[in-house]
Structure 1
Amino acid sequence: MDKEQQGSVESVGTKQQGSVGNEKSIWSEIFIWSLTALGIILVIIAIVMPFKIKNYYEPKIEKYKTIADLGTIGDFIGGTTVAFLTAASVVLLLATIIMQRKEIKISQQSIEELVKQTASSVKQAEEARKETQITNETMKKQQLETTFFNMLSLHHQIVNSIKTTEGYSGREAIENLKEIYENRILKKQYLLDNPTHLPGNWTEYAKEQYLDKILGNDDTINQEVLDEVYKDFHKDYGNDIGHYMRNNYRIVKFIVNNVANDKSEQEKIKKETGREPIIDDKRYYFGMLRSQWSNAEFELILINSLYTENRKFKELILKHDVLDMEETKDKQTSSKVFKLKESMKNFRAYRKLIEVSK
């Protein structure tokens, strides 16, 4: 049975119930009015009866002078009149009780209808609230995505505007800056290992001999060396790439503060920041951001976050796995541990700076 047929059957049932109810109501009204009429008639009979009896018996009583001569008959009439009055009282009381019951039933029906209407209004209000909430969530998501993609557009503009003193621009400039940083970190590490000797043609030597030794092995770079090298690197090239790094940090911060994975996280963010985040998948937005980066950008962003002065960026990256580097979580302890994926071979030298308890 489809919805239209079901609705038709329900409508017919409702009409039949209404018809039966109307018939009962009509018979109830007739019964009440009949009892009322009977009670009135009995009252009238009780009032008229003494006069009728008096007129009937006056001619039949010898030596009738006053109404006192009807004393015996009066006692009889009184007894019969009281019976009529009592009967009338009972009948009228019964009619009153029936009317009151009917009125109470009507009141109950009115209350039930009011309750139904109230429940229906509450349901409609709840549905309207849900629809409004869905609309608001949709609008907030559209606004967030508009802002997010505008930030990605700005990201591309910044990338294209990057220029170095070596004559590179755009992503080629970022690739060149990555090579400059690597050359400096390798030279620093080599001098620590060989303080009295430095090859004349250092660049070629680093590429051929020292690159794999340092960047191809685990834990070869410590925090002190990275901070020293990156500080000098930022001093020389901060004007070229500083705004690029800050923009990436703001994009990550924007996602963290405006997207929650579930209701509890949404409430937490709202309490901490006062913002109204949407419930969505953060990984989607981080994935969209990563897809804008070249390999050189990816590496420089991570190295920038490992610099001690940029620890806030590092905390965000590790907490939310912004760079998608986390392998597993330590199930043996209650604390969470960030473990680098084995596929992230380019960052083996920085492993001990990345794998930290969260």
Structure 2
Amino acid sequence: MNNNEDFSKVLWKWLCFIWVIPYIGIFLNWKFGLEVGQLGSYGDFIAGTTVPLLTFVSFLAIIRTLRIQEEQMSLQKDDLQSSINQMGEQSKLLRIQGFENTFFNLINLHNQIVQTMKDTHAPKDSYGRMVFSDIYRSLAHAYKSKKHQISQKGLEIEEIKCIRMAYDDFYKLRQPEFEHYFRSLYSIMKYIDKANLESIEKEPYVEIIKAQLSSLELAVLFYHGLSRQGEKFLFFIQKYGMISDLNYNLIFHSQQHSNIYNELFESFEKEYEG
């Protein structure tokens, strides 16, 4: 704005100077009593000098006008970009708010499922997360029983097959108690995975899920991922580090079963992302 004002002042000075020149001729005519005809040569001189000057000043004015328009267009472009950025931020905020509304509704539903879980196999009924204590014992018993049966028959079976056979027996027995639990947890993780958010933006929501899982839940979730019933869940368990806080003392053969876990994830990851 100051540059425009300074240029206008300079331009106005030039115009004033140019228009003063004819008045010099009038002054000379009055001062020295010259005849009008004698001022002809002076007029030719003035015309020869002022016209180029006026043309030059006009050229400067045009250039300055173009620069002013360019500056205005640049300011409008900046304003437009700022508006676009603000709209982008608002859109992102609305998207996150919409995601969080659904996410926390899913969390509330999952917590209700946990609270209504009931262990009908124990001498005394237990409810909620206390059920996982007996569920884990049932899983451990199913695995040991299957290993014993295989040993008694003198069979050689891959460990992953043994785990899955044991989990099948366990699942048939305890399915009514935790089927909805795993289905709900899987739905939440799938919702996070498919959300239109950056990976770093998803981390806080994954941490909310992980914070609610007990040690026994993590152990059961580990073997659920190895089972046929939890094959699809395995990808999310490993991708988002859901069992990063797992107590490996609760794993029946921690090193061997962890290796199997990683191998299954690598093969399933290629299939899932392919």
TM-score w.r.t. the length of structure 1 is 0.60
Separation of aligned partners in 1, 2:214 and 2:202:
21
Query: C-alpha distance in 2, partners of 1:195/1:279?
Result: 49
Determine what percentage of the aligned residue pairs are the same residue.
18
Number of residue pairs matched by the alignment: 251
In 2, Cα distance between equivalents of 1:322 and 1:89: 95
Pair 1:114–1:26, CA change in 2 (3 A): closer
- Alignment map for 1:1-358 (pairs within 5 Å): 14=2, 18=5, 22=9, 24-35=10-21, 49=37, 84=40, 88-166=43-121, 167-195=125-153, 222-258=159-195, 276-278=196-198, 280-324=200-244, 344-347=248-251, 348=254, 350-356=257-263, 358=266
Amino acid at match of 1:141: I
Q: CA deviation at 1:310?
A: 2.6
The 1:292/1:138 distance shift into structure 2, 3 A limit, reads: same
CA 20–100 in structure 1, closer or farther in 2 if over 3 Å, else same: closer
Judge conservation of contact 2:146–2:162 (CA < 8 Å) in 1.
Answer: yes
Question: CA shift at 1:351, angstroms?
Answer: 2.1
- The answer on whether the counterparts of 1:155 and 1:244 sit within 8 Å (CA) in structure 2 is yes
Distance across 1 between alignment mates of 2:259 and 2:12 = 92
Q: 1:305 to 1:19 in 2, by over 3 A?
A: closer
Alpha-carbon displacement from aligned partner over 1:193-228 (angstroms, at most 9, x marks no partner): 2349xxxxxxxxxxxxxxxxxxxxxxx981111221
Structure exhibiting the larger radius of gyration computed from Cα positions: 1
Q: Which runs of 5+ in 1 are unaligned?
A: 1-10, 42-47, 50-79, 197-219, 259-275, 326-340
- In the TM superposition, residue 278 of structure 1 has moved relative to its aligned partner by 4.3
Q: In the alignment, is the contact (CA less than 8 A) between 1:39 and 1:89 conserved in 2?
A: no
Deviation per CA, 1:32-87: give whole Å up to 9, x if none.
Answer: 2244567999xxxxxx85xxxxxxxxxxxxxxxxxxxxxxxxxxxxxx9xx936x5
CA contact (8 A) 2:139 2:170 kept: yes
CA contact (8 A) 1:35 1:92 kept: no
Aligned position for 1:207: none
TM-superposed CA distance for 1:89, in Å, is: 4.1
Q: CA deviation at 1:309?
A: 4.3
C-alpha change, 1:173 and 1:320, in structure 2 (3 Å) is closer
How far 1:235 moved relative to its partner? 2.6
The letter of the residue matching 1:151 is L
Instruction: Name the TM-score, length of structure 2 as normaliser.
Output: 0.76
Residue 292 of structure 1 deviates from its aligned partner by: 1.0
Give unmatched runs, 5+ long, in structure 2. 28-35, 267-274
CA distance in structure 2 between the aligned counterparts of 1:117 and 1:29, rounded to whole angstroms: 26
| RMSD after superposition | 3.4
Alpha-carbon distance change, 92 to 185 in structure 1, aligned in 2, over 3 angstroms: same
Shift of 1:26: 4.2
CA pair 160-20 structure 1, distance change in 2 beyond 3 A: closer
Q: Structure 1 residues 187 and 124, CA, compared in 2 at 3 Å: closer, same or farther?
A: same
Residue 148 of structure 1, CA deviation = 2.0
- Give the drift of 1:247: 1.0
Contact 2:110 2:184 in 1 (8 A): yes
- Larger relative helix fraction: 2
Contact 1:305–1:313 (8 Å) recurs in 2: yes
